[in-house]
Amino acid sequence: WRFLPLLAVMALTLTGCGNEQLSALLPQGEGARMQFNLMMLSLYIMIGVFIVVAIIYTVVLLKFRRRKGDNEIPEQTEGNVTLEILWTTIPIILLLILAVPTVMTTFALDPDEEKIPKDAIRVNVTAHQYWWEFEYPDLEVKTSQDLYMPAGEKVYFNLKSKDVIHSFWVPAIGGKMDTNTATENLMWLKADEAGTYFGKCAELCGPSHALMDFKVIVKDKKDFMAWADKMKAAKGEPEGDLAAQGQEIFQANCIGCHAIGNEGSNVGPNLTSFGDRTTIAGILEHNEENLKKWIKNPQDIKTGNNMPQFGKQLSDDELDALAEYLMGLKVDGE
């Protein structure tokens, strides 16, 4: 009974696995399904072993327990060749049943550079403390935080990091893989259907590691290509006078780190489609209030990030204009 609270906590933790946008236990992509099948195979074997051991244990306990008036020392036996062979062979067979599909899956998940189709969509992923950069070299598109990809085909990712080791993970579709600073890692993801999925950084990378989230927006191929065309053409034109004023403030203060379209620097996240985002900084609800809070004091929200406190130099009116401009930068959701 004293383990009851522990079991309750475990059950509560597991309910968190029921989110279909995030859960590795509800696979919605080829890679995730392959990994899920491996997990289930080992789980079934473990359950089988547990049941057999529990039955033998119970039978032995009941059958050979000391009875009333039973004061003699039981018969002493030493060694049993049949049993020795049995309990060596059975685990070997079980391990083989586990090992063969594990090795096959490992090879299937590891892409071979030579065999990647020429027209495959490729994405260069760069992890930063604490945000994600996504570049589509063939489509000439760059974005951040929201990763767009087509459904039903393998998309190939070149993963690297700008600062420390992070790990790129989209549990419901497949993954995960470390991003290193010196070397590039290659992996693929294939999502079954259009939808929005959650991605996480899965390697402790600093005080805001737990907040280093991103979204994966899967679209049908046609819609994905249309998105890429619009991204490529987007220039961040302001809509309305207030937004135009915001654009001037952006160009005076923000462009040294942030790019919109091809203009600006790539030190910080690319903001071409900022208005389409589903969250501010990957974690806050996407609205103007939160955006202004973020610009005013980013350290309050994501400790240790590299965004300077530019907002402190801006008046409330300037902040309003800047937020109006950024929230209006829509490519996908017009």
Pairing of the two strands 279-280 and 174-179: unpaired
Interface stretch with ligand CUA, choices 198-206, 213-221, 283-291, 319-327 (CB under 6 A): 198-206
Which of 135, 213 has the CB closer to ligand CUA? Answer: 213
Closest approach of ligand CUA to the CB of residue 166, in Å: 3
Site membership for ligand CUA, residue 159 (CB under 6 A): no
Nearest to 98 by CA among 35, 34, 38: 38
Angle among Cα 188, 189, 192 to the nearest 5 degrees reads: 150
Q: In this chain, which of 30, 135, 146, 203 binds ligand CUA, going by CB under 6 A? A: 203
Interaction residues for ligand CUA, span 208-247 (CB under 6 A): 209, 212
What is the closest distance, in whole angstroms, from the C-beta atom of residue 123 to ligand CUA in the complex? 17
- The span of 69-77, 84-92, 137-145, 200-208 binding ligand CUA (CB under 6 A) equals 200-208
Interface with ligand CUA (CB under 6 A), residue from 159, 205, 260, 319: 205
Nearest approach in angstroms of CB 164 to ligand CUA is 7
Give the x-and-dash track for 22-61 against ligand CUA (CB under 6 A).
----------------------------------------
In the complex, least distance from residue 127 CB atom to ligand CUA, rounded to whole angstroms: 6
CA 95 to chain CA centroid, Å, is 30
Burial 179-189 (b: 16+ CB within 10 A, else e): bbeeeebebbb
Between CA 179 and CA 212 the distance in angstroms is 13
In Å, what is the CA distance from 135 to each residue of 17, 38, 140, 189?
30, 32, 8, 16
Judged by CB under 6 A, does residue 135 bind ligand CUA?
no
Report, in Å, the least distance between residue 165 CB and ligand CUA.
8
Cα–Cα separations (whole angstroms), residue 99 to 40, 93, 128, 247: 14, 10, 36, 58
Q: How far is CA 78 from CA 71, 73, 75, 81, 85, in A?
A: 21, 15, 10, 10, 15
CB of 232 to ligand CUA, least distance (A): 28
Distance CA 212, CA 145 (A): 9
The vertex-206 CA angle with 204 and 208, nearest 5°, equals 100
For residue 190, cis peptide bond before it (omega within 30 degrees of 0): no
CB of 185 to ligand CUA, least distance (A): 14
Out of 141, 172, 177, 201, name the contact with ligand CUA by CB under 6 A.
201
Q: How far is the CB of 218 from ligand CUA (least distance, A)?
A: 22
Compute the distance between CA of residue 272 and CA of residue 236 in angstroms, rounded to an integer.
6
The smaller minimum CB distance to ligand CUA, of residues 209 and 258, is found at 209
CA atoms of 334 and 321, how far apart (whole Å): 20
Span of 88-96, 205-213, 291-299, 301-309 interacting with ligand CUA by CB under 6 A? 205-213
Q: Is 166 an interacting residue with respect to ligand CUA (CB under 6 A)?
A: yes
Residues at the interface with ligand CUA (CB under 6 A): 127, 130, 166, 201, 203-205, 209, 212
